Amino acid sequence: MAMKKDQYSALFRFVTKFLKYFLLTLVGFAIAYVMSMSVGAQHLLIMILPLFRGLVWRAAIILLCLLATTVVIESLR
């Protein structure tokens, strides 16, 4: 049986891209956090951190729900 080029569903491709950019955002924020702490900009981070924490929490829940949906749909295919 030959593999098709477009084997994965659109939902699977969307979830993998979402996961990729979610993790890249977390890594980028961690780098920015370390760099701003080294130059002494803690007051900016104290203002931004609660907003970022709330957004990350909501995005992580949405990502988990999408992952679970994708697993169920792909297993039924």
Q: Rounded to whole angstroms, how far apart are CA atoms 7 and 36?
A: 43
pTM (2 decimals)?
0.75
Q: What is the pLDDT of residues 26-38, one digit of tens each?
A: 999 899 888 888 8
**Structure token digits, residue 20:** 């990729």
Q: In the Cβ-directed half-sphere of 23, how many Cα atoms lie within 13 Å?
A: 5
Cβ atoms 74, 9 nearer than 8 A: yes
Max alpha carbon distance in the chain (Å)?
Answer: 60
Question: Mean pLDDT for the chain?
Answer: 87
Cβ atoms 59, 4 nearer than 8 A: no
- Please check the confidence at residue 3 and state whether its pLDDT lies above 70: no
Q: Rounded to whole angstroms, how far apart are CA atoms 33 and 42?
A: 9
More confident residue, 47 or 67: 67
